[in-house]
Each structure stands twice: as structure tokens, then as C-alpha cells.
Chain A
Amino acid sequence: MKLLQYIIPVMLLIPVTSDAQCRPFTKNKVLPLLSGYVQNDNFNSAVLVPGDEAELLLTFYSGKEYRLAVVAHPILGDVDFEVRDTNDQLVYTNKDKTDNKTTFDFKMSSTQQLIVRINVPDQKNAVITPEGCVTVMTGYKELK
């Protein structure tokens, strides 16, 4: 009983401290997807649970080809993401994709900011709420 007094609080702390698991995930699962591109961003990762939504504002420069990668731990399933301009106009969504739902390749003909919105679908039948890392990264290539 005395042991449980210590174990339970430590276990409950895990949701707060589990961000520390995302760097290896990013290195092993996300960086390889940017092969051929120069990674131009910080490691943007967070631990999310089903039902979560996240947003990231990114600047893309004209005359470059980019790869945007949005990758979630398999425990969360396929996450939905969409790209919108700052006037909320939809530019891309992965919802209608049947394969390669994690990366989006594009060229920029002008410099502009775009918003990436991520949605982790609900898992209504899950007995235990899963949580896992979601990473957003970009890489670029110079256009020749």
C-alpha cells in the first residue's frame, strides 16, 4: 500500500512529462521522410490524444520546393491535416488521400504564410485514451 502511494502519483505525472519521448520519434520516423530536402525547422512535436486539434503558422519563401510532413504515432491512427492561407482559404487537405497521408510536396511562387491545422480523430470505442507524439516538420529544396 505504501509503495502505491508513490507509484500512482508518478504514473499520473507521465502525461505531463511524456513529451520527452518525441525526439527519438521525430528522428526515426519523420526525418527520413525529408530525405533529399534540407530540414529548415525546429523539431515541432507534442503529445496529443484523440480529439485534439493543433495549429502551426509557417512561412514559406518564393522560389523553393517544400515538403511538409505531419506524422503521428501509429497509436493515434491517421491524423487529418489541412493547409490554409491566412484568410482561411483551403489550400490542401489530406482527408481525400488514400495513400501518403503524411507528406505534402509543393512549390511556392510567392512568399507567404500558411497555417497547418491538425486534427487527431476521436477514438470513441477506445477503453483507454491513447496518447502519442505528433510532429510537424518542413524541408526545402532550391528550385533550379
Chain B
Amino acid sequence: MSTKKQSIMKKKSWIIPIGVALVSTTLFIACEDSNTSNKNNVPAVQTGGKDSVELAKMAQLQKIFFSIPAPMEMASLIKQMGYKYDGKLLNSTESVTRYTGETKQAVNLGIFGADLSYASMFDEKQESMNYLAAAQKLAREMGVDGALQDQIIERLNNNQQSRDSLLNIVSEAYGDLNGYLKENNRVEISALVIAGGWMEALYLSTRFAATGNETLKARIAEQKYSLDNLLKYFAEFNGKENLAEMNNDLKELKILFDAVQISSSSTEVKKEKDGMVVIGNSSSVTMSDESLKNIATKIQGIRSKYIA
């Protein structure tokens, strides 16, 4: 197997079908244009070429396997630490009408997704419904309403008694949202949604960690991994204009996360009596209170800009 350590798929043969498709797209559009050029006077080669390049880039981006933990996992830790639900920390659902422009809409779709995860983790059913409705409205305005279909609200309505069902429906909806965007040639939007969701989860955890919770503080420090992954993913888009602002924000955040020290040793794999595998190492994460404060201030500033 390949020894290269990157999340991008290493594939020997997908270049060929893309190449063939590129040619065929050009041919197809060229044929179409040759039939209609008298009416429209459109230069066939230029139109076909541009679409083909975009198509090839999109196909390449669709082939990337990329992952960071969903916001639900951070919400889970906040609840586990015994904190109470605080709806005032979340982005107001009423602000949904304010968001125009693809970047802001996409980031806020991620933010609403994270807020939805947080509300559902605390079994706040009405709030969960409100956040899902807000996310759905935003998705509709972005023309990606297929991502959050009415059946999800119906499923939430029908499963109000079970917290586990609520969590599963919300987790599935969040995962499917990004799958939908990716498969419908909105990979850049998907990247912004993921970044928005991650940012909101980080923002919420910093609000609670300010009370001096060491477990939460360590989890925030561990977000260094996710931030590095996000930046690598954004780099794949080769400086796309609509990702530039978020990319810069993440880079500024990285400067602060660079102060987080993570040391690790070799991985140990053990088996428990019941056969369950336990993986771990003697890693340690060190983040000063000052670093936490800097990160908390920075993420609040970035978030404020997007939710305004």
C-alpha cells in the first residue's frame, strides 16, 4: 500500500475516465454548439473548455476523503462535564434572514448545524426543531434544499420521545448535508459548512472552558489536529476566492494553536478480556491559560464576523 501520509485518495486509474470525460464533454458541448452556433453565436471551444476544466477539478475534489469529528462530539463532552444548556450562547435562529452571499450562508449553515447538535444533545426538542428549520431555510435560499428535506423534520416530530433517535437523526442529517453538497458539485460550500460547524463547536467549548474545566481545556487543545486537517483540506482548493476569507481566519487561528504542545509516544494496542481492542499512547497535551484565552477571544471575533 502507499506510504504517503495524506488524506487525498491515491488512485491509479481515475485520471483516465476523467480525461475521457473531459474530451467527451468538450465533444458534447462542441456538437451542441455546432448545431446552435448560428442562433447564439457562442464560441464552442471556449465554453466547452472552461466547463470541462471545472468539471475535472470538481471530480478531483469529490475524490478526497476528508474528516474531522462532527460538532456533536464536542457537545457530548460539554454535557458529560455536567454543564447546563445555555441557549443564549447559540446563534439566534431569527438571524437566518440576514445572511446573503454564498460564503456567509454556508458558514452559518455549519453554525446552525453545530447549534442543532448542541440543542439535541441536551434533548431540547423545540430548540432542535427551530435550528433545523433555520438550517433548512438557509439551505433553501442557497438552492441546496435537497440536503435537508422535509422528511427530517417529520422524523424529528415522530421521534420526540427518544433522545437517542433525536441524536441519530441530527447526526445523520449533518453528515448527509455534506455528502449531498459534495455529490452535487458544491464541494467548496461543503468545506465552508464543515469549517462553520467546527468553529461553532470550538466557540461553545471555549465559553464553558472559561470556567476552568481541565478536560474541556484539553479537548480544545486537541482541536489543533482538526485545524491542521481543515487547513490541508482548504489548500486542495488552490486559493479559491470564496474560501479565501475562511482560509485566512483559520490560518490566524493556527498561529494561536501553534502554542499548544502535543507530545506522543509509540502506540500501544491491547486486548481486553472480552476481546475489545484498546488503542492509546502516553501522549500529553499542554496549553497555557493564556493560550486558551487567546484562542477563545480569536474564535469569538471570527464567529461574530460571520454571524453579524
Contact = CB atoms under 8 A, between A and B. Distances in A.
Interface of A: 5-6, 8-10, 12-13, 15-16, 19-20, 22-23, 26-27, 31, 38-46, 48-49, 51-62, 65, 82, 85-89, 91-92, 104-115, 117, 119, 129, 136-138, 140, 142
Contact of B67 (A5, A58, A82): A58
Interface of B: 1-14, 17-18, 20-21, 23-25, 27-28, 31, 55-56, 59, 62-70, 72-73, 76-77, 80, 167-168, 171-172, 174-176, 178-180, 182-184, 190, 194, 218-219, 222, 225-226, 229, 264, 266-267, 269, 272, 276-283, 285
Given A22-B179, A43-B176, A55 B283 contact: no
B1 A46 contact: no
A56 B232 CA distance: 12
B67 A107 contact: no
29 contacts: A13-B25, A13-B28, A15-B14, A19-B59, A27-B176, A40-B72, A41-B69, A42-B70, A43-B182, A46-B65, A52-B10, A53-B2, A53-B9, A54-B10, A55-B9, A56-B7, A56-B65, A56-B66, A56-B67, A59-B225, A65-B276, A85-B266, A85-B267, A87-B266, A109-B280, A110-B282, A110-B283, A140-B73, A142-B80
Contact of B73 (A46, A49, A61, A112): A61
A35 to B, nearest CB: 9
A49 B18 CA distance: 13
A40 B59 CA distance: 25
Contact of A107 (B80, B167, B184, B278): B278
B9 A6 contact: no
B64 to A, nearest CB: 8
Contacts of B72: 38, 40
Nearest to B224: A59
A42 B67 contact: yes
Contacts of B67: 41-42, 44, 56-59, 136, 138
Contacts of A138: 67
A96 B224 CA distance: 34
